[in-house]
Structure 1
Amino acid sequence: MVKTRIIPPAQGAHAYPLLIKSLLLSGVRYHPEQEIVYADRLRYDYRTLNQRIHRLANLLTASGVGPGDTVALLDWDSHRSLECFFAVPMIGAVLHTVNVRLSPAQIAYTMSHAEDHLVLVHDDFLPMLAGIQDELPTVRGYIRLTDGELPPSRLPLLGEYETLLAGADCHYDFPEFDENSVATLFYTTGTTGDPKGVYFSHRQLVLHTLNELTLAAHTGQAPLRSDDVYMPITPMFHVHAWGFPYAATMLGVKQVYPGRYEPDKLVRLYRDEGVTFSHCVPTILQMILDCKEARHTSMQGWKMLLGGSALPLGLATQAHRQGILIQAGYGMSETCPLLCVVHLTGEELALPMDDQLPLRIRTGTPIPLVDLRILDEQGQEVAHDGVTMGEIVVRAPWLAQGYLKEPEKGAELWQGGWLHTGDMASITSGGTVEIKDRIKDVIKTGGEWISSLALENLISAHPEVHAVAVIGVPDEQWGERPLALVVGKEGVLLEPEAIKAHLQRFVDSGRINRWAIPRQIRIVQEIPKTSVGKVNKKLIREHEQQAVSRN
């Protein structure tokens, strides 16, 4: 440790902790009349938001929640979720945003592992919770969240959210405490084993929020600005909807929460509420572009940050033709999540959009305060030539410090003092990162590496391809060979030979080697997805192994 000069603070100087409550100050101060909108059901202003957060804090305290207790939330994206994002951690408790798309068994595991104390649950999930309540020994009560009539339930309900909120006091004296206190918790699923608990402190969330807001300082960049209208299309249970609800509230922008994701409804809300900024994974973008409402709605001026998985050029082109300004970003659950965002220079921004699109779908450039390196198998940095590959490792002030109750897995994540992402990438001399594949997804055939992402990108450029996933499958001669699952566009009779002929053009131009063309190309109706809308390559590989075993 380097010895430095430290001057003690003046007597009486306040050591200001970085707490989530501070993010609330500016929105109500500068834009008190700006709106929070919940689908087509409810709207109120920032003054009311602030008051409701105070009421919720009193409600939680009256329900027996104290500092360090965990509050579970099972809801669609709503104003209630936004209120919980603030009120729960602001009283010193921990907000567990439950992934409602997991199986009942997985939900029971995560809630038991988190030792949830109080549960706020939407009516849609009451039957599921009733079936697993015996597996939740730490839960002492449930508060229902409803959008309509109150169906009966055998859960021990303390009451209905709005009714209880109305009876709570509208002022709460939020305390100060250690900024390193845990604020949020959620669970991420991996390739093996049970879901892992990822937690973040107040300090980490505040620093991540401030960093998201710095992105708007760069000319021509898409992320959130003070004149935007924000609507998340990434579930709020997943990495705090990428942190943007905190940033939007700090800016005081109009926020639109859509409830359950239905593509036609999302497009109507975009149109009717004047939405200008959203974020989502590529599969959700594809659903939006293909829905009925999109056929007669201009999406001009809708900025969209894409992440979670690689953005295919074909999808980016389709989005551009429908008016959406796309931009890629990169991160993961354990990184809060933002690490990189595509940054275009003035010269690149002057290019025609058809020439910009290949640049906009790159992984991007590390954002401020992110120390990102790419290491080879010997732990040495690779050449910054845009070609040589290695694993992305990172350091930043908001990265997860481990997994809840699993120190051995946390130590594996942080080998050598760097967070290991498991992503294979190259980096240019200018600092632009381009992910080539997940370490577990890269295909090694005959001693050569093939990027499944690169193949997916090329196949997606075929005009009749709707979606594609590529995995490696065992091959006696070459070790592995690519297998492509391809979904054709509606009304098109797509043939595997057409895909091979399409890829042969890239072989002829020298862009890929001939052995990169998959021997197996299957035309399928759909491709399996994870609970957050990513292509589920783990499940695809399992299906392939089962098929081989049967044969």
Structure 2
Amino acid sequence: MIQTKLIPRTAEAHEPPMLLKTLLAQSLKYEPHREIVYRDLFRMNYVTFNQRVRQLANVLTGLGVGPGDTVAVMDWDSHRYLECFFGITSIGAVLHTINVRLSPAQILYTMNHAEDKVVLIHEDFLPILNAIQGQLTTVERYVLLSDKVYTDLNAVGEAPAGFAGEYETLLKSAHPDYEFPDFDENTWATTFYTTGTTGNPKGVYFSHRQLFMHTMGLATYVCGYQAVPFSSIADVYMPITPMFHVHAWGFPFLATMLSAKQVYPGRYEPELLLKLLLKEGVTFSHCVPTILNMLVSNPAAQQFNEQLSRWKVVIGGSALTKGLAKAALELGIQVYQGYGMSETAPIMTLTKLNDNERDLPLNEQIEYRTRAGRIAPFVDVRLMDDNGNFVPHDGHSLGEVVARGPWLTQGYYNDPDRAADLWRGGWLHTGDVASITPDSWVQIADRTKDVIKTGGEWISSLDIEDLLSQVPGVAEAAVVGLPDERWGERPHALIVQKPDANLTADHVKAELQTKIQQGDLNKWYLPDRIAFVAEIPKTSVGKIDKKRIRSEMKELILG
């Protein structure tokens, strides 16, 4: 660290901390009449939203929640969840967004590890709570979340003891004024848990400053540089990524700061998502490829090309294949790829077409739109080899993606060993292998643990999946490497067919053989076996679960 000359500080001068309450305050300045919509059940403007956030703060303080206490939420994507993003954090408490798709045992671990004091829980998840409540060590009170209003909790058959009341009823009885205090911007704001290949889930955490800076980074990239053009005037935002998953990728903070119209769909149901998309004029969303594939494959989508042509969708979590990108673009949906991880808050890259690339025909743009994206503002992304040396950004050389930036997590809660491994050498290690072009395009080759090592060659399972996605009749594909006595490892593929397809393994291999003969594909990339399945295993956040495929489906793949 170099020696610098610091600005003298005046005792009376105020230096505002970067807090989430500051983002909230912006929502009232310019367009407070814009709406926040929940399914087809509830709508409010930003004046009401701000009032409800303050009522929530009063409810929580009335339940004994103070600075540093952890408040957990188990809900579908809703206006309530958005209120928690601000109401919990702005009183100095910590928001724990529980991944409701984890097993009950994992949820129990995360709640005890995070030391949750109060839990806001949707009635749909009461069976989980009933199964683990006796083993919770720190929870004192519960608040019921529901699309119905219960004035008598005895009417909720599965509600256990310790409930303070129902959310809407408590809010109505709370005072609408609350003066959010100033505090250190490095105060812990949120936590959530990410699962790895081994061990218990890891507690990722972020400060107010980190989330504030992530919001500024998003605003710079999507509103300023127009990477995925987002305008508070022209766009309507609807997340289709769970709000428990890295704060829905941080976009709710941005949409609220800009007082954009927001639509929250609750539990994901294809017909309702499409209905909300059309009725509310949704133009900006983000989701994993599985959700996009589900919507693109819905026969009803074919009837709404004109409306869908206004829809911009950021894809993350897993790679956007050329086949899925082509299907979406043919419907008029503008698809973009983003890249990051739970530990990076998460945005590190996002599709950013320059002037020349935007002028290309759509079929040529697919090459760019299916890359991981261009490096986002304020983030330093490099490639590193196994010896800790940097790899050149020449578009060809491969290395592990490492990063630094103002919003990357500092580590894992109460897990110093794994935190030290994450930040070894002063760089956050992603475990992803990639190349980077001189003009900052990132192309992910694979996870380090998913790269297939065959006959002395390293091949990318993502590249094979991308090629399989372009075979007519293929809806989804997953490729893993399995042990081979001769070659060390060989690729094996799982394929989900489209409803009207009648594919065979020989037909798919013949399609790939054509690519080999044309010189587009190395012969090593041809899978040894291809198995057809009804569904490809996914993780709790919708990613292809390659660990499970390797362990549980090895017998199916090998036949």
Normalising by the residue count of structure 1, what TM-score does the alignment of the two structures yield? 0.98
Residue 374 in 1 paired to residue 383 in 2?
A: yes
Shift of 1:383: 2.5
Q: Unaligned regions of 5+ residues in structure 1, if any?
A: none
Relative to structure 1, the CA distance from residue 204 to residue 436 in structure 2 (aligned partners, 3 Å threshold; closer, same or farther) is same
- Deviations 1:362-421 (CA, angstroms, capped at 9, x unpaired): 111111110110011222222222111110000001001010110110000000000000
**Who is 2:230 aligned against?**
224
Residue 513 in 1 paired to residue 522 in 2?
A: yes
One-letter code aligned to 1:74: M
One-letter code aligned to 2:136: L
Question: What CA distance in whole angstroms lies between the structure 2 residues aligned with 1:414 and 1:496?
Answer: 43
One-letter code aligned to 1:450: I
**Who is 1:164 aligned against?**
170
**Who is 1:240 aligned against?**
247
**Who is 2:335 aligned against?**
326
Question: What CA distance in whole angstroms lies between the structure 1 residues aligned with 2:318 and 2:225?
Answer: 25
Question: What CA distance in whole angstroms lies between the structure 2 residues aligned with 1:216 and 1:71?
Answer: 31
One-letter code aligned to 1:355: E
1:91-490 equivalence runs, <5 A: 91-148=91-148, 150=150, 151-152=156-157, 153-217=159-223, 221-227=227-233, 228-298=235-305, 299-490=308-499
- Deviations 1:312-352 (CA, angstroms, capped at 9, x unpaired): 00000000111100111110000000000111111110111
Question: What CA distance in whole angstroms lies between the structure 1 residues aligned with 2:439 and 2:217?
Answer: 21
**Who is 1:14 aligned against?**
14
**Who is 1:491 aligned against?**
500
Shift of 1:293: 3.3
Report SS of the residue matched to 2:445.
strand
Residue 66 in 1 paired to residue 75 in 2?
A: no
Report SS of the residue matched to 2:352.
coil
Shift of 1:118: 0.2
Q: Unaligned regions of 5+ residues in structure 2, if any?
A: 151-155
Shift of 1:225: 2.0
Shift of 1:289: 1.2
Question: What CA distance in whole angstroms lies between the structure 2 residues aligned with 1:545 and 1:499?
Answer: 20
**Who is 2:78 aligned against?**
78
One-letter code aligned to 1:208: H
Of 532, 536, 558, which residue of structure 2 is paired with 1:527? 536
Question: What CA distance in whole angstroms lies between the structure 2 residues aligned with 1:291 and 1:60?
Answer: 42
Question: What CA distance in whole angstroms lies between the structure 1 residues aligned with 2:555 and 2:499?
Answer: 29
Residue 539 in 1 paired to residue 545 in 2?
A: no
Contact 1:483 1:521 in 2 (8 A): yes
Contact 1:393 1:421 in 2 (8 A): yes
Report SS of the residue matched to 2:27.
helix
One-letter code aligned to 1:257: Y
Question: What CA distance in whole angstroms lies between the structure 2 residues aligned with 1:216 and 1:194?
Answer: 35
- Deviations 1:200-233 (CA, angstroms, capped at 9, x unpaired): 0000000000110111345653243222100000
Contact 1:330 1:364 in 2 (8 A): yes
Question: What CA distance in whole angstroms lies between the structure 2 residues aligned with 1:383 and 1:331?
Answer: 21
Question: What CA distance in whole angstroms lies between the structure 1 residues aligned with 2:224 and 2:59?
Answer: 42
Question: What CA distance in whole angstroms lies between the structure 2 residues aligned with 1:49 and 1:548?
Answer: 51
**Who is 2:90 aligned against?**
90
Report SS of the residue matched to 1:102.
coil
Report SS of the residue matched to 2:493.
strand
Contact 2:228 2:352 in 1 (8 A): no
Contact 2:78 2:266 in 1 (8 A): yes
Shift of 1:508: 1.6
Contact 2:241 2:287 in 1 (8 A): yes
Question: What CA distance in whole angstroms lies between the structure 1 residues aligned with 2:334 and 2:245?
Answer: 24
- Deviations 1:437-457 (CA, angstroms, capped at 9, x unpaired): 000000000110010000000
Question: What CA distance in whole angstroms lies between the structure 2 residues aligned with 1:500 and 1:404?
Answer: 47
Report SS of the residue matched to 2:26.
helix
**Who is 2:153 aligned against?**
none
Shift of 1:156: 1.9
- Deviations 1:97-125 (CA, angstroms, capped at 9, x unpaired): 00011111111111111110000000101
Contact 1:213 1:225 in 2 (8 A): no
Relative to structure 1, the CA distance from residue 476 to residue 215 in structure 2 (aligned partners, 3 Å threshold; closer, same or farther) is same
Report SS of the residue matched to 2:549.
helix
Question: What CA distance in whole angstroms lies between the structure 2 residues aligned with 1:225 and 1:374?
Answer: 33
Report SS of the residue matched to 2:28.
helix
Contact 1:198 1:402 in 2 (8 A): yes
Contact 1:374 1:393 in 2 (8 A): yes
Contact 1:226 1:252 in 2 (8 A): yes
Shift of 1:493: 1.2
- Deviations 1:60-116 (CA, angstroms, capped at 9, x unpaired): 000110110000000000000000000101000000000011111111111111110
Report SS of the residue matched to 2:425.
helix
Report SS of the residue matched to 2:320.
coil
Normalising by the residue count of structure 2, what TM-score does the alignment of the two structures yield? 0.96
Report SS of the residue matched to 2:481.
strand
One-letter code aligned to 2:325: A
Shift of 1:462: 0.6
Question: What CA distance in whole angstroms lies between the structure 1 residues aligned with 2:149 and 2:381?
Answer: 51
One-letter code aligned to 1:75: D
Question: What CA distance in whole angstroms lies between the structure 2 residues aligned with 1:154 and 1:375?
Answer: 51
Contact 1:487 1:526 in 2 (8 A): yes
Relative to structure 1, the CA distance from residue 509 to residue 261 in structure 2 (aligned partners, 3 Å threshold; closer, same or farther) is same
Question: What CA distance in whole angstroms lies between the structure 2 residues aligned with 1:124 and 1:519?
Answer: 44
Relative to structure 1, the CA distance from residue 99 to residue 501 in structure 2 (aligned partners, 3 Å threshold; closer, same or farther) is same
> Which shows bigger deviation, 180-189 or 297-306?
297-306
CA RMSD of aligned residues (A): 1.4
